[in-house]
Structure 1
Amino acid sequence: MIETDSIALMAKDAALGQEANKLLNRLCEYKYSYHFDWMGRPIIQFPQDMVAMQELIWAVKPDLIIETGIAHGGSLIFSASMLAQLDLCEAIEAGTMLDPRKSKRKVLGIDIDIREHNRKAIEAHPMASRIQMVQGSSIDAGIVKQVHDIAAQYSRVLVCLDSNHTHAHVLAELQAYAPLTSKGSYCVVFDTVVEDMPKEMFPDRPWGPGDNPKTAVWEYLKGNPGFEIDKTIQDKLQLTVAPDGYLRRL
């Protein structure tokens, strides 16, 4: 059983939170999120957030996971493998044979620039049959319509936003894709931690404190009461790139 009481105590420990933030900043100096693979592909995530995503996928049991930002494809592979496990467990419970080629569950990835070597590696992966990729800006009207048309075929949708991290871009992504999130499911906005990091850590980026995914989340929630920040997730993780980024659809 999850120790909810101890999680609540951690959340109230301001000193612990400060130490966790210091550690996170130090880890990022060494490109910590780039140290990990999932089934052979770089995932560019903190292990803590990978565990949290596993918990959400198991709880929500989505038919479709929408992801903006593909990079090397590790996150797509991760999501696809979680969906494969859902199918396997359901087949075991039903006492039936599993044919992954007949599964409806999919991961839909959108990226403005899918590098050819990454595309080839993803398409050659054993999880490839569960993955669909769309190249183009995630906030382009044509891409948004294409994603909405695909999502209309599914009943349980989970959304992950992890592409351009500027306030304007993430806010536009939230406006475009958060409404696709099923009730009880999540829209997860990654790298909200940028707001809590020193601005000198982003010398060559258009985002930083005051202009980042967290500020976009705050702005979006002002006019969208159908979502709430699930702080219990960041409270138990302590080390996360998505503080205030785990949004639950009410």
Structure 2
Amino acid sequence: MASDIDTKDTTEEMRTAAHRFMAASVEPKYSYNFSWLGRPIIQYPQDIVAMQELIWRTQPDLIIETGIAHGGSLVFSASMLELNAICGGNADASVLGIDIDIRDHNRVEIEKHPLYRRITMIEGSSIDPVIIEQVRAAARGKKSVLICLDSNHTHDHVLAELDAYADLTTVSSYCVVFDTFIEDVPAGSYPDRPWDKGANPKTAVHEWLKAHPEFEIDTSIDDRLLISVAPHGFLKRVR
């Protein structure tokens, strides 16, 4: 029997509800509710699932992540690479994390994790030329590279990270820019941070893409997730 539900109206209703949830989730720090294999991940569950799909689809030899915090995302990426390897993927695939300040207690917990053998960490600014060269050296010769930018969320910093690392993304893989949703929530939602509506990862993405037609926003991911910190942030390299 055909449904009498108007799919378009339902979709718009879902988008509105999702936007309201995202705006309401900022102040209580909803993303801090979750962990992955024992480490706080500071991500929304929907984005975790989306990243699992991308890691399986692209089968990266290397995942580069800016921003480490407690290490949950590094452990997540390492665990996905482990599963890829079990299923016939690259047994030596690894994840490289960069952070300007790796706290001692976080480093200890990450280094004693069973999946640490797939993880390398570099301490320093992700836009420092010395650090950039170390990361680029690690990516040389890799057949498939996936990038995740999730450190300082100011417009200028994200733009600099895109300039530094996005071209390492291999064709058909992704450069994922997190926290683009800052542009979509009310101004002043981050009173203690140097980013806000009008100057954030999404504004950086839109500016950067003007000169980089080799990348496209994969809006199909946004359309499926609805609840995500990275709308317009899933950048697919198409050539």
TM-score of the aligned structures, taking structure 2 as reference length: 0.94
CA 1:244–1:114: 2 relative to 1, 3 Å: same
Match of 1:58 among 56, 59, 67: 56
Partner of 1:69: 67
Instruction: Count residues in correspondence.
Output: 232
State yes or no: 1:155 paired with 2:143. Answer: yes
Distance 1:150 1:11 in 2: 48
**Secondary structure in 1 matching 2:121:** strand
Distance 1:12 1:228 in 2: 27
1:237 partner letter: L
CA 1:57–1:190: 2 relative to 1, 3 Å: same
1:209 partner letter: K
State yes or no: 1:247 paired with 2:235. Answer: yes
State yes or no: 1:236 paired with 2:224. Answer: yes
State yes or no: 1:171 paired with 2:169. Answer: no
**C-alpha displacement of 1:13:** 3.3
CA 1:11–1:222: 2 relative to 1, 3 Å: farther
**Secondary structure in 1 matching 2:87:** helix
CA 1:201–1:63: 2 relative to 1, 3 Å: same
Q: What percent of counterpart residues are identical?
A: 59
Partner of 1:29: 27
Match of 2:98 among 91, 110, 113: 110
* Larger helix fraction of residues: 1
1:165-209 Cα shifts (integer Å, max 9, x gaps): 000000000011000000000000000000011122111111000
Distance 1:50 1:179 in 2: 24
State yes or no: 1:191 paired with 2:179. Answer: yes
Name structure 2 gaps, 5 residues minimum: 1-6
Distance 2:214 2:109 in 1: 38
Partner of 2:117: 129
Partner of 1:98: none
Task: Report if the CA contact (8 A) 1:11-1:17 is conserved.
Answer: no
Name structure 1 gaps, 5 residues minimum: 1-8, 92-101
Task: Report if the CA contact (8 A) 1:187-1:246 is conserved.
Answer: yes
Give the root-mean-square deviation of aligned CA atoms: 1.5
**C-alpha displacement of 1:12:** 8.8
* Range with greater deviation from structure 2 (235-244 or 23-32): 23-32
TM-score of the aligned structures, taking structure 1 as reference length: 0.90
Task: Report if the CA contact (8 A) 1:112-1:138 is conserved.
Answer: yes
Moved over 6 A (4+): none
